[in-house]
Amino acid sequence: MTLSSTPDRQAALPLPPGKIVAVHLSYHSRAAQRGRRPEHPSYFLKPASSLAATGSSIDRPAGTELLAFEGEVALVVGTAARYVTVEEAWDHIGWVTAANDFGLYDLRAADKGSNLRNKGRDGYTPLGPGLIDARQVRPDGLRVRTWLRGELVQDDTTDRLIFPFAQIIADLSQHLTLEPGDVVLTGTPAGSSVAAPGDVVEVEVDAPGAPGAPSSGRLVTTVVEGRGDFDPALGSLPGVDDRQREEAWGSREAAGLPPASEEAAPTSSPSTGGPATLSPALREKLLAAPVAGLSQQLRKRGLNNVAVDGVRTSRPGAKLVGTAKTLRFLPNREDLFRSHGGGYNAQKRAFDAVREGEVLVIEARGEPGSGTLGDILALRAKAAGAAGIVTDGGVRDHAVVAGIDLPVFSRGGHPAVLGRKHVPWDVDVAVACGGAAVLPGDVVVGDDDGVIVIPPDLAEEVADAALAQEQEDAWIAEQVEAGHAVDGLFPMNEEWRQRYEAAQRTDDRP
What's the first-to-final CA gap in the chain, in angstroms? 84
Domain boundary among 424, 441, 459: 459
Domain boundary among 459, 476, 499: 459
Relative to beta strand 125-126, strand 51-52 is parallel
pLDDT of residue 475: 78
CA geometry: angle 263, 269, 270, nearest 5 deg: 115
82 and 125 inside one domain: yes
Q: Which is nearest to 410 in space by CA: 368, 454, 357?
A: 368
The three-class DSSP label of residue 345 is: coil
Residue 507 located in a structural domain: no
67 and 132 inside one domain: yes
Residues in Cβ contact with 2 at an 8 Å cutoff, skipping those fewer than 6 apart: 128, 129, 130, 131, 217
283 and 241 inside one domain: no
Query: If residue 377 lies in a helix (H) or strand (E), which one and from where to where?
Result: helix 375-383
pLDDT of residue 367: 94
pLDDT reading at 283 higher than 70: yes
Residue 400 located in a structural domain: yes
Residue 478 located in a structural domain: no
Range of lowest pLDDT (272-286, 352-366, 482-496): 272-286
Residue 148 located in a structural domain: yes
pLDDT of residue 331: 95
The residue ranking higher by pLDDT, 78 or 12, is 78
332 and 422 inside one domain: yes
What is the rounded distance in angstroms from the CA atom of residue 321 to the CA atom of residue 360?
11
* Mean pLDDT, rounded, for 387-408: 95
**CATH code of 334's domain:** 3.50.30.40
33 and 168 inside one domain: yes
361-372 tens-digit pLDDT:
999 999 999 999
* Mean pLDDT, rounded, for 196-207: 96
197 — pLDDT class (breaks 50, 70, 90): very high
Yes or no: say if 318 and 287 are a contact pair by the CB < 8 Å rule: no
Residues in Cβ contact with 340 at an 8 Å cutoff, skipping those fewer than 6 apart: 346, 423, 424, 425
297 and 446 inside one domain: yes
Phi, psi of 394 (to 5 degrees): -90, 170
CA pseudo-torsion sign 263, 269, 273, 275: positive
pLDDT of residue 7: 38
Percent of the chain with pLDDT over 70: 93
The residue ranking higher by pLDDT, 46 or 493, is 46
pTM: 0.54
Q: How many Cα atoms within 13 Å fall on the side-chain side of residue 137?
A: 30
199 and 334 inside one domain: no
How many domains does the chain divide into? 2
424-451 tens-digit pLDDT:
999 999 999 999 999 999 999 999 999 9
295 and 170 inside one domain: no
Residue 153 located in a structural domain: yes
Residue 414 located in a structural domain: yes
135 and 210 inside one domain: yes
The residue ranking higher by pLDDT, 45 or 63, is 45
**CATH code of 211's domain:** 3.90.850.10
Residue 504 located in a structural domain: no
Percent of the chain with pLDDT over 90: 68
312-364 tens-digit pLDDT:
999 999 999 999 999 999 999 998 888 888 877 889 989 988 999 999 999 99
243 and 298 inside one domain: no
CA geometry: angle 164, 165, 170, nearest 5 deg: 105
User: Which residues partner with 361 through β-bridges?
Assistant: 326, 390
Domain boundary among 416, 444, 459: 459
239 and 274 inside one domain: no
11 — pLDDT class (breaks 50, 70, 90): low
CA pseudo-torsion sign 478, 480, 482, 485: positive
227-273 tens-digit pLDDT:
888 887 888 778 777 888 888 898 888 888 777 644 344 444 443 33
CA pseudo-torsion sign 143, 148, 149, 152: negative
275 — pLDDT class (breaks 50, 70, 90): very low
Residue 319 domain boundaries? 270-459
Whole-number Cα distances in Å, 312 to 260, 362, 369, 398, 432: 29, 14, 16, 12, 17
Query: If residue 476 lies in a helix (H) or strand (E), which one and from where to where?
Result: helix 459-481
The three-class DSSP label of residue 104 is: strand
- What average pLDDT does the structure give for the chain? 88
pLDDT reading at 26 higher than 70: yes
Q: Taking the CA atoms of the chain, what radius of gyration do you get in angstroms?
A: 28
pLDDT of residue 510: 46
313 and 217 inside one domain: no
* Mean pLDDT, rounded, for 136-151: 95
Residue 15 located in a structural domain: no
